[in-house]
Amino acid sequence: MSVSYQAVGWNRTKKLYDAILVAGLLVYLGLFVGFGSVVHPNATAETLLIRGLGTAALLLLHIILCIGPLCRLDRRFLPLLYNRRHLGVTMFVLALAHGTFSIVQFHALGNVNPLLSLFVSNTRYTSLPDFPFQALGFLALLILFLMAATSHDFWLHNLTAPVWKRLHMMVYAAYGLLVAHVTLGALQSETSPLLAGLLCVGLTVVTALHIVSAIAERNRDVARCPEADGYVAVGEVGQIPEKRACVVSCGGERVAIFRYDGKISAISNVCQHQNGPLGEGKIVDGCITCPWHGYQYLPDSGASPPPFTEKVPTYRTLVVGTQVYVHPSPLPPGTRVEPSPIVAESKVVNHAQRV
């Protein structure tokens, strides 16, 4: 990390982002309860609030799931990615309120512990139309809790970025459980066909965006045919501004290729701090500086300058004339690779360490 490390505070953009989020949610809940009381005059305010909170949480979850693939398809969505954690925690709070109110409303009046009642009041686990769908919502809520509780930097640092990332991939399991929770719940009640239709649209959009962005990324990979020794051509030297990087998808991973002082070096695009996009940072005082919170890495070794200990994987590079090549196999974090000098001649000028 950087000597001048400074956590990103509540800057103006973040405050604006959160203000829009809270205002949007309040408007949504107000409209939901207002229209709901007209369309369903017999529904109680508690029921409308439970439904409003549940649908708001699910809507936010769809937005969260779409942000990743949208950013891979178009960089203009990146500001949303930077603030995605706030969306995630807000979504969990809404889901928790929905789940808690539901348990109070449907399970707190008997003589069985409400949490136990959630699982034993309906045990028709083998029936599709009567399936105890609330248990699925509870399991999803547990996953969302794990994610919200570990979203703080403390956990990212202690669990390490790969474990943290794997844990947060469980969001897809939570999403699957919630699709089942709502679908099976709707089978048991008079829930409007509008909800079922919107859920179908949401599922289709989330799935389609993931498939399209994966295909686009793979096509970019394929376009770069492996050449000498398995190196992959990734673009022209002139496409990389001085002290900046271009980011390519290589062997399924994002690699940041930096140009500086007449040389080329490549490291993983993923910052060890919070998975920030290193390729969007620049070289400051000889170090690649993460645009999110300023962690720094030496371009040739991917290691943070002493006394810091963070390390990211490095990649071997080649410059042939004006063409830049990267070897798609990452080297262990912190492995030094000789930078490739940029020269005008169109012959192989470097070599990086060939392993």
Chain positions contacting ligand FES, by CB under 6 A = 271, 273-274, 276, 290, 292-295
Task: Compare residues 65 and 250 and give the one whose CB is closer to ligand HEM.
Answer: 65
- Per DSSP, the three-state class of 249 is strand
Binding-site partner at residue 178 among ligand FES, ligand HEM, none, CB < 5 to 8 Å by type = ligand HEM
Chain-centre distance of CA 293, in angstroms? 17
For 125, the token pair is: 């686990």
Least distance to ligand FES, CB of residue 164, Å: 12
- Are the C-beta atoms of residues 333 and 45 closer than 8 Å to each other? no
Task: Compare residues 275 and 340 and give the one whose CB is closer to ligand FES.
Answer: 275
Query: Among candidates 71, 98, 87, which has minimal Cα distance to 14?
Result: 87
Task: Compare residues 91 and 161 and give the one whose CB is closer to ligand FES.
Answer: 161
ω before 307 within 30° of 0 (cis)?
A: yes
25-44 footprint of ligand HEM as x/- string (CB under 6 A) = --------------------
Q: Please count the CA atoms within 13 angstroms of the CA of 299 that sit on its side-chain side.
A: 28
Please report whether residue 147 would count as binding ligand HEM according to CB under 6 A.
no
- Are the C-beta atoms of residues 118 and 136 closer than 8 Å to each other? no
Alpha helices in 150-297 (DSSP H): 153-159, 161-168, 171-188, 193-223
- Are the C-beta atoms of residues 268 and 330 closer than 8 Å to each other? yes
Binding-site partner at residue 273 among ligand FES, ligand HEM, none, CB < 5 to 8 Å by type = ligand FES
> Residues 141, 233, 288, 326: which binds ligand HEM (CB under 6 A)?
141
Residue for token pair 């109070």:
104
Largest alpha-carbon pair distance within the chain?
Answer: 84
- Are the C-beta atoms of residues 98 and 104 closer than 8 Å to each other? no
Binding-site partner at residue 292 among ligand FES, ligand HEM, none, CB < 5 to 8 Å by type = ligand FES
Task: Compare residues 148 and 240 and give the one whose CB is closer to ligand HEM.
Answer: 148
Please report whether residue 303 would count as binding ligand HEM according to CB under 6 A.
no
Please report whether residue 183 would count as binding ligand HEM according to CB under 6 A.
no
Please report whether residue 148 would count as binding ligand HEM according to CB under 6 A.
no
Least distance to ligand FES, CB of residue 247, Å: 14
Please report whether residue 55 would count as binding ligand HEM according to CB under 6 A.
yes
Amino acid at 146: L
Task: Compare residues 213 and 296 and give the one whose CB is closer to ligand FES.
Answer: 296
Please report whether residue 134 would count as binding ligand HEM according to CB under 6 A.
yes
Q: Are strands 323-326 and 340-341 parallel, antiparallel or unpaired?
A: unpaired
**What distance in Å separates the CA atoms of residue 222 and residue 226, rounded to the nearest whole number?**
9
* Residues contributing to the site for ligand HEM (CB under 6 A): 47, 50-51, 54-55, 57-58, 61, 95, 98-99, 102-103, 106, 118, 134, 137-138, 140-141, 144, 178, 181-182, 185, 189, 191, 195
